[in-house]
Structure 1
Amino acid sequence: MRRRLVVIAVLGALSSPAFSQSSVTLYGILDAGLNYTVGSQKAIVNGRPVGAGNQLALNDGAFGMFGSRWGLKGTEDLGSGLKAIFTLENGFSMSSGAFAQGGAEFGRQAFVGLDSPYGRLTLGRQYDPHLDIVAPFSAAWQFAGYIATHAADVDNLLSTRRLNNSIKYTMPKFHGVNAEALYSVGGVAGSVSRNQAWSLAVGYDGGPFQFGAGYLTINNPNVSFYGANPNGTGVTGNNLGSLGSATSPANNPAYAGFASANRYNLAGVGASYTYGSATAGVIYTNVRYTGLGDVATSGPNPLGYSGTAAINTVELNLRYFFTPTILVGVMGSLTRVGSVGGHDGASYRQFGGGAHYFLSKATELYALVMYEHATGVDSTGRAAVAAISGLTPSSTSSQTAVRVGIVHRF
């Protein structure tokens, strides 16, 4: 009898945490649609791009409004205002079912932490503060999706890349002000600074006026940022993109040539003002690939670059709700890649718009159109070609893309 009482007491002690309030939520976004691209590149032959003509393709949300995903969010009330929290979020392709983010099981987000009245502290694979606070002012977030990002999302405004091994603090909002700080541990023995990153951002939400500013710096970005997915090639490969070949097109030609950078620095500011049903926004970002030529710890440098490559972007956007179920937006942006390697750099001008029809709170139909025109010499050392984000670059200086799609949230 005594042995039975001991067993019951032990089981009761082990099961006591079950009485605390906890919850787990399953959520997700499904985004699929058709893309029609006017002007696609087939390969690079004798140093010049060869055209493949127009293209019609069924693409998942990674090239549309949202990346398709499913995830789990959990919280446990620990008492005295303290909560344990976690998020596991998987990205995948709607058209093939394959894992996104280079094959990572929870490649979008994977973190655990504590939430309290004094702020939230989380550890794992996370978004950087610049993205959290500055990116929402862009047209890509507001109505236009991935094709509206700047030069293959060089400023990471649509979360193309995440930071592994990161520690993040989010302060409670105070009189409309919010702020975040993040540090990503490099994890390299004998070199604390190698592959490390840190970021700071602050925002303000004062009714109709909103503002955000942020900064992100990453050491050895070819490995620690662009190569942070399971399919990353490390120092030996170019994770920023591809210069193309006789059998394949270029990839991210605006900055693919800067894989040897020792450091990636990003600074950005954004603001918006809402008047009635209309919201006007502006955003500016400055990206600097510094210490070009660091082939020992960063990546390849086939063009022999040295020094710094700077990329500046300014964007204006406007969105308007004609009715609670109909949203229309327009945008324009200019991205300028500065001179490097003896040439004068390149410019990319984008103009586009989008329309959304909300069938319900969970489901919407949308249509997007984007036009880009390029001039100058890009990072591959060739005449710049238009390269709308997420699509195969053009073989000429111009490219147009149209997408129609459907989004469902759960």
Structure 2
Amino acid sequence: MKRHVLCLAASMAFAVPALAQNSVTLYGVIDEGLNYTNNVRGNHNYELASGFAQGSRWGLKGAEDLGNGLKAVFQLENGFDVNTGRLNQGGRMFGRQAFVGLSSPYGTVTLGRQYDALVDYLAPTTANGNWGGYLLSHPFDNDNTDNSFRVNNTIKYASPDYSGLQFGGTYSFSNDTGFSNNRQYSIGGQYQNGGLLVAAAYLQANNPGLTTGGAIATNDANFASSRLRVFGGGINYTFGPATAGFVYTNTNITNPTSGAYLTAADSLVPITGPLAGSTLTGLKFQNFEVNGKYQLTPALYVGAQYVYTMEKYDTSLGGVKPKIHTFGLMVDYNLSKRTDVYIQGAFQKVAGDSTGSSLDHAYIPGADDVSSTSKQAVARVGIRHKF
């Protein structure tokens, strides 16, 4: 017995230094609330909905010290719906993130399902990618600043912080015999100095949503198309309790065939009006966002946003140029360091030229469905808990 005790003690003595070099963290967010939408295909709608200020999730992340400044790192992050317990992100077990890689003083290289450079660098300058969340996204989240899609089969590089400057990029394989069929690449960077934050990013994807195993899978893409290009820049400035920001993004979608925010009953192609019977060849969105946030007390802030979107709808018979106005508001109060309650509201109006398609109807990301008119409003009361 004494021999067994001595062996166990010796094993523990050797194990403690090894364990000290490793770390694994369990974390998560549970976001739940009540939504009211004034027009869902002509009707009012009340619903409990999950993951608006932040997507509900739980995850594991960790690191192992390999010596000489080198570490092995990993992260597995699951998205779920609080009301039903179902998996989000197309039913994937770790649909938000799943990667492994190496970190060193020269940067971090990771492989797996990850965020692109738009999400990593540009999104934090937007209201939806910073403090506002899903309800304050740009129309159809056309620029992915609210992370509608992740990129599969991805190699990512992220630089260390060089006196406030960080940059990086991604390359996502198609995993197809056609090398460029549903691949993606992106690059971006941001600079922070005191209250100033400046960021820019670019993304291109070939055939996003047109294969199930490529960079942007069929059940992940915001728009399935032959090509997606997005670029943009943003600036935030914080002075005292106030933060003001401006963001510009430009999205070019070639030969779009479907949209994730539209149901099977909706169509991107014109079904009425002078363009009826034509072929849709392209969609372009230019988003101009002004946002602001004011910290009234250490526990309470209020934020507001306005987005002006210029849309270009191109068909084989010509093109039209609708406009979209989106307003967002949020009030958030911290009950503790980990729990807060909030109120949100969003209003959208589609104006200008008519496309003759479902895009003529307002549709706020997060609404239960498309409006029967060119206007839609959504209000939400929510609670969020972090662990």
Same fold (TM over 0.5): yes
2:46 alignment partner AA:
L
Is 1:161–1:225's contact at 8 Å kept on the other side of the alignment?
Answer: no
TM-score by length of 1: 0.81
Deviation digits for residues 1-50 of structure 1, max 9, x if unmatched? xxxxxxxxxx99xx899456101100000000000111111xxxxxxxxx
> Which residue of 378, 381, 384 maps to 2:360?
384
> Which residue of 196, 212, 219 maps to 2:183?
196
Deviation digits for residues 49-106 of structure 1, max 9, x if unmatched? xx2x111100011xx2011000000110001010000000000000100000010000
Q: Counterparts of 1:336-351 in structure 2 under 5 Å? A: 336-341=310-315, 342-351=318-327
Instruction: Provide the identity percentage.
Output: 40
Tell me the residue number matched to 2:98. 110
Match status 1:21 vs 2:35 = no
| TM-superposed deviation, 1:376 | 4.2
Q: Secondary structure at the match of 2:307?
A: strand
Deviates more, 1:269-278 or 1:142-151: 142-151
Question: RMSD of the TM alignment (CA)?
Answer: 2.8
| TM-superposed deviation, 1:378 | 6.5
| TM-superposed deviation, 1:228 | 6.5
Q: Counterparts of 1:94-243 in structure 2 under 5 Å? A: 94-189=82-177, 191-223=178-210, 232=218, 240=222
Match status 1:271 vs 2:235 = yes
2:49 alignment partner AA:
N
Deviation digits for residues 147-176 of structure 1, max 9, x if unmatched? 110112111111111000000000111121
Is 2:117–2:170's contact at 8 Å kept on the other side of the alignment?
Answer: yes
Tell me the residue number matched to 1:48. none
Q: Secondary structure at the match of 1:360?
A: coil
Match status 1:60 vs 2:50 = yes
| TM-superposed deviation, 1:225 | 9.1
Q: What 5-or-longer segments of structure 2 have no aligned partner?
A: 1-10, 259-266, 271-277
TM-score by length of 2: 0.86
Is 1:107–1:229's contact at 8 Å kept on the other side of the alignment?
Answer: no
Tell me the residue number matched to 1:86. 74
Q: Secondary structure at the match of 2:122?
A: helix
2:237 alignment partner AA:
Y
Match status 1:407 vs 2:384 = yes
Tell me the residue number matched to 1:288. 252
Rounded Cα–Cα distance in structure 2 between residues aligned with 1:292 and 1:264: 9
Tell me the residue number matched to 2:308. 334
Rounded Cα–Cα distance in structure 2 between residues aligned with 1:131 and 1:383: 25
| TM-superposed deviation, 1:195 | 1.0
Is 1:122–1:167's contact at 8 Å kept on the other side of the alignment?
Answer: yes
Q: Secondary structure at the match of 1:339?
A: strand
Rounded Cα–Cα distance in structure 1 between residues aligned with 2:21 and 2:117: 30
Is 2:269–2:357's contact at 8 Å kept on the other side of the alignment?
Answer: no
Q: What 5-or-longer segments of structure 1 have no aligned partner?
A: 1-10, 42-50, 241-255, 295-299
Rounded Cα–Cα distance in structure 1 between residues aligned with 2:252 and 2:380: 31
Tell me the residue number matched to 2:347. 371
Tell me the residue number matched to 2:36. 36
> Which residue of 295, 309, 317 maps to 1:321?
295
Seen in structure 2, the aligned counterparts of structure 1 residues 218 and 225 have a Cα distance that, compared at 3 Å, is farther
1:345 alignment partner AA:
K
Is 1:375–1:383's contact at 8 Å kept on the other side of the alignment?
Answer: no
Q: Secondary structure at the match of 1:266?
A: strand
Rounded Cα–Cα distance in structure 1 between residues aligned with 2:213 and 2:173: 16
Tell me the residue number matched to 2:273. none
Rounded Cα–Cα distance in structure 2 between residues aligned with 1:225 and 1:272: 37
Is 2:56–2:79's contact at 8 Å kept on the other side of the alignment?
Answer: yes
Seen in structure 2, the aligned counterparts of structure 1 residues 226 and 355 have a Cα distance that, compared at 3 Å, is farther
1:173 alignment partner AA:
D
Rounded Cα–Cα distance in structure 2 between residues aligned with 1:90 and 1:293: 29
Deviation digits for residues 305-363 of structure 1, max 9, x if unmatched? 35432111010001000110010011100112113113413221011211000111100
Is 2:173–2:215's contact at 8 Å kept on the other side of the alignment?
Answer: no
Is 2:184–2:215's contact at 8 Å kept on the other side of the alignment?
Answer: no
1:323 alignment partner AA:
T
What number of residue pairs does the alignment pair up?
359
Is 2:282–2:313's contact at 8 Å kept on the other side of the alignment?
Answer: no
Seen in structure 2, the aligned counterparts of structure 1 residues 164 and 200 have a Cα distance that, compared at 3 Å, is same
Rounded Cα–Cα distance in structure 2 between residues aligned with 1:286 and 1:224: 25
